[in-house]
Amino acid sequence: MAVILQVDFPQLNGPFGDQMSEQFKGLAESIAKEPGMIWKIWTENEETKEAGGVYCFDNATNAQKYLKMHTERLEKFGFTNIRGKIFNINLPLSLIDKADFLK
């Protein structure tokens, strides 16, 4: 069963917006190839200096492996206070709220 992984961390001084898109394109391409990753939505809030993402993985095992690897990678980039949480998806309620792509 698919799961959601939520990751966020303080971004400090950026980049954000178009600059983030340019600088992290290679990272996005790498993430797209991760085992079990179905999709990712990149998140950013320049005002609060936070960034992260919401991911859908095919199962909790792949999500947990990715979270471990990604946390270590972010720490090597100098980020701290990385928060990651894995959630099961309540499919019946999600479908009511227009998440038809989960079918």
Q: Look-up: residue for tokens 């701290």?
A: 80
Q: What's the whole-number average pLDDT of the chain? A: 93
Range(s) of the domain holding residue 32: 3-102
Domain count of the fold of the chain: 1
Q: 71 vs 18, 84, 85, 90, CA distance in Å?
A: 24, 8, 12, 26
pTM: 0.90
Band of pLDDT at residue 26, cut at 50, 70 and 90: very high
Q: Are strands 37-45 and 83-88 parallel, antiparallel or unpaired?
A: unpaired
Task: Output phi, psi for 67, to 5 deg.
Answer: -55, -45
pLDDT digits (tens, 9 = 90+) for 35-56: 999 999 999 999 999 999 999 9
**What is the CATH classification number for the domain harbouring 34?**
3.30.70.100
Six-digit token string for 89: 């998806």
Check pLDDT > 90 for residue 22: yes
